Amino acid sequence: MKYDYLVVGSGLYGAVFAQQAKALGKSVLVIDKRPNIAGNVYTENVEGINVHKYGAHIFHTNIKEVWDYITKFAVFNRFTNSPVANYKGELYSLPFNMYTFNKMWGVVTPEEALEKIEEQRAEIKGEPENLEEQAISLVGRDIYEKLIKGYTEKQWGRDCRELPSFIIKRLPVRLTFDNNYFNALYQGIPVGGYTKMVENMLSGIEVRLSVDYLENKEELDRLADKVIYTGAIDAYFGYKLGNLEYRSVRFENELLDKPNFQGNAAVNYTDRETPWTRIIEHKWFEFGKDENGNDLSKTVISREYSSEWKPGDEPYYPVNDERNSKLYEQYRNLAKNEKNVIFGGRLGEYKYYDMDAVIKSALDMCEKELKK
């Protein structure tokens, strides 16, 4: 049979589209090159712990439409992200808030903290032109040197002066004692794991796993009137204009026979020398309990190493610097000529999307595509 839509990739963008299309009576086939659904939000249960196999995913949003949508497919717990920064054994609270300023400078009141920041940000004259200048103008040089520079250079493999300033604007700066990493009205982790949530979204929809679209493109294209492509846009075009750059991540997972390794879901190693960027201790996303509410006696940790993407690696983060943004625009022009293909998601749009923004962008696309 011929389907209305072939959805390439079962991550959030693909799952939202497939779910909405099915709900409107369209026929949909979802394929994924991996042996499992859920893309990079995939979680795998190890000893009762939902392990975020492709890195920590903490759902947060200010968009009520997105929250109302996603909570149809999972119950979310009350997890609030409060990472700890470890700089050569000194621990700091993140994001940058009164606890951080107190530890860094001994200041006690918001006024004292602001005074320190203003004194240090004075070195930046005019509009910040790169991540370094942006960071110093947000929180001053001390915090830049201890909590931002090393981490960012490990994470992006580039000098902070060569990175766009928007990356650091993702982090809040607060003159209150508030360790919540996100400025979001809604936040949490789906109880039972993200894989289960995506499974619920794809309920009743045909899914074929371990199918590589680009390797069988002609044959698969014949199966449907239209394609929703959520893979890398440069890969779709055989890299013919050159590679877009991505950062990739490698995880070293360990199951430890102890109940508590670091006392927090995320600890960032913000010095330059420690080779990993952060360590995730997955059980704390669900308060150290299994699905029945019992304490878990073991723990799983993942050390996260950042690297430059090369063919064969998984792409994670688009590098939205000038060269790549220009190249992406050229690919986008090619994409416009592919009349029966819609490109979407972090890889399809080469955009540093958070989960909620991906869902929003998919819902908006559905509105245009399915309800016309």
Residues within window 237-276 making contact with ligand UDP, judged by CB under 6 A:
268, 270
Q: Choose, by CB under 6 A, the member of 51, 168, 280, 301 that binds ligand UDP.
A: 168
Determine the 3-state secondary structure of 28 from DSSP: strand
Q: Is 174 noted as a catalytic residue in this protein? A: yes
Q: Is 272 noted as a catalytic residue in this protein? A: no
| Per CB under 6 A, 30 contacts ligand UDP | no
Q: Is 338 noted as a catalytic residue in this protein? A: no
Q: Which is nearer to ligand UDP, 168 or 227 (CB)?
A: 168
Q: Is 158 noted as a catalytic residue in this protein? A: no
Question: d(Cα 365, Cα 369) in Å, to the nearest integer?
Answer: 6
For tokens 């929180």, name the residue: 139
Q: Is 346 noted as a catalytic residue in this protein? A: no
Q: Which is nearer to ligand UDP, 318 or 342 (CB)?
A: 318
Q: Which is nearer to ligand UDP, 136 or 202 (CB)?
A: 136
Q: Which is nearer to ligand UDP, 22 or 57 (CB)?
A: 57
Strands, sheet with 90-93, edge to edge from the N-terminal-most edge strand: 90-93, 84-87, 266-269, 278-281, 299-308, 246-256, 317-318
Q: Which is nearer to ligand UDP, 31 or 94 (CB)?
A: 94
Helices 131-139 and 110-121 sit at what angle, rounded to 10 degrees?
Answer: 150
Q: Is 304 noted as a catalytic residue in this protein? A: yes
Contact indicator for 189, 197 with CB cutoff of 8 Å: no
Question: d(Cα 317, Cα 362) in Å, to the nearest integer?
Answer: 19
5-13, 151-159, 200-208, 254-262 -> range binding ligand UDP (CB under 6 A): 151-159
| Per CB under 6 A, 94 contacts ligand UDP | yes
Helices (H), 144-269: 150-156, 194-201, 217-221, 233-236
Question: d(Cα 272, Cα 262) in Å, to the nearest integer?
Answer: 20
| Per CB under 6 A, 147 contacts ligand UDP | yes
Helices (H), the chain: 12-23, 64-70, 98-105, 110-121, 131-139, 141-143, 150-156, 194-201, 217-221, 233-236, 322-336, 345-348, 355-370
Least distance in Å: CB of 278 to ligand UDP? 8
Q: Choose, by CB under 6 A, the member of 101, 151, 246, 284 that binds ligand UDP.
A: 151
1-9, 32-40, 114-122, 168-176 -> range binding ligand UDP (CB under 6 A): 168-176
Least distance in Å: CB of 142 to ligand UDP? 13
Least distance in Å: CB of 167 to ligand UDP? 5
Contact indicator for 251, 307 with CB cutoff of 8 Å: no
246 in the Ramachandran plot: left (φ > 0), alpha (ψ -120 to 50) or beta?
beta
- Binding residues for ligand UDP, how many (CB under 6 A)? 13
Catalytic member of 304, 316, 350, 353: 304
Q: Contact residues for ligand UDP (CB under 6 A)?
A: 85, 94, 147-148, 151-152, 155, 167-168, 170-171, 268, 270
Question: Which residues are tagged catalytic?
Answer: 170, 174, 247, 278, 304, 352, 354
